Amino acid sequence: MAEPVLTIRELEKSFGALKATDGVSIDLMPGEIHALIGPNGAGKSTLIHQVSGSIKPDRGTIHFLGQDMAGLDVAARARFGLARSFQTSSLAQEFSALRNVMLAVQAKQGSSLRVFRPVMRDRSLIEPALAILERVGLAGRAHVPAAELSHGERRQLEIAIALALEPKAFLLDEPMAGMGPEGSKVLTGFLDDLRHEAPILLVEHDMDAVFALADRISVLVYGRIIASGTVEEIRNDPEVRRAYLGDAA
């Protein structure tokens, strides 16, 4: 079996008396979608923050492509190939969709201290960015400021930015949130393809999408992983049913 892309071991994080992350260990294998589910307040976002580098864990390790991530900040981890999307969209609001993606392309090219040559005449930025917008279905909205995009479009743009980084792994925090059923279906299909480019650690509330996409699922409750396994195993795990799925299943 291949080496895991991302290895999280015994991660712990407390806020005062609250244990937000309590001994979490997760592996993300090449080509897979690993879904992270759990009720509100289970600590999913805190976990994503620790992996992406915006929150420092109290204990435990995170290795990505064999490299210890401790001491690397958000930007450094992103350059290493860890792309994340945000639970509530986080975009440069005044920039158009195109310029948001171009920023990611430019970051990937590692050339952000260039002070000459207008970006809007720079084909090496515009062309890849347009291609990605085409891929996520936003080409027609390329010149609309992010602030004026619809909610669904912003989620698409989030994905587009992550794609532009050509990452080695995706951290997607509730990409379906607030999408209509139609949009969710399209995005589900899209993510299904995406796993072949890089594995995905997916936090998601939409159970249909999770069960359709995930190769493996980990269930997080009160900061602890109470179960981890294939879709079938999780569906049938009595503890999960009791603690979380309850009525829904």
Residues forming contacts to another protein in the complex (CB under 8 A) are: 52, 54, 73-76, 78-79, 83-84, 86, 90-96, 98-100, 102-104, 106-108, 111-120, 122, 125, 143, 145, 161, 164-165
Please report how close the Cβ of residue 125 comes to another protein at its closest, in angstroms: 8
Q: What per-residue string of b and e applies to 7-20 under the rule 16 or more CB within 10 Å gives b?
A: bbeebbbeeeeebb
Q: Closest distance between another protein and the C-beta of residue 45, in Å?
A: 13
Residue 166 or 215 with smaller CB distance to another protein: 166
The angle at the Cα of 57, spanning 53 to 62, to the nearest 5 degrees, equals 65
DSSP letter at 91?
A: -
Question: Could you give the CA distance from residue 69 to residue 62 in angstroms, rounded to a whole number?
Answer: 6
Residue closer to another protein (CB basis): 20 or 104: 104
Looking at the Cβ atoms of 107 and 186, the one nearer to another protein is: 107
DSSP string, 178-223: T--HHHHHHHHHHHHHHTTTS-EEEE-S-HHHHHHH-SEEEEEETT
Q: Which residue, 78 or 227, is less far from another protein as judged by CB?
A: 78
Q: How far apart are the first and last CA of the chain?
A: 32
As measured in angstroms, the least distance from the Cβ of 61 to another protein is 22
Q: In the numeric block, which tokens belong to residue 198?
A: 């890089």
Minimum distance of another protein from residue 247's CB (angstroms) = 29
User: Toward another protein, which CB reaches closer, 45 or 184?
Assistant: 45
Minimum CB separation of residue 152 from another protein in Å reads: 19
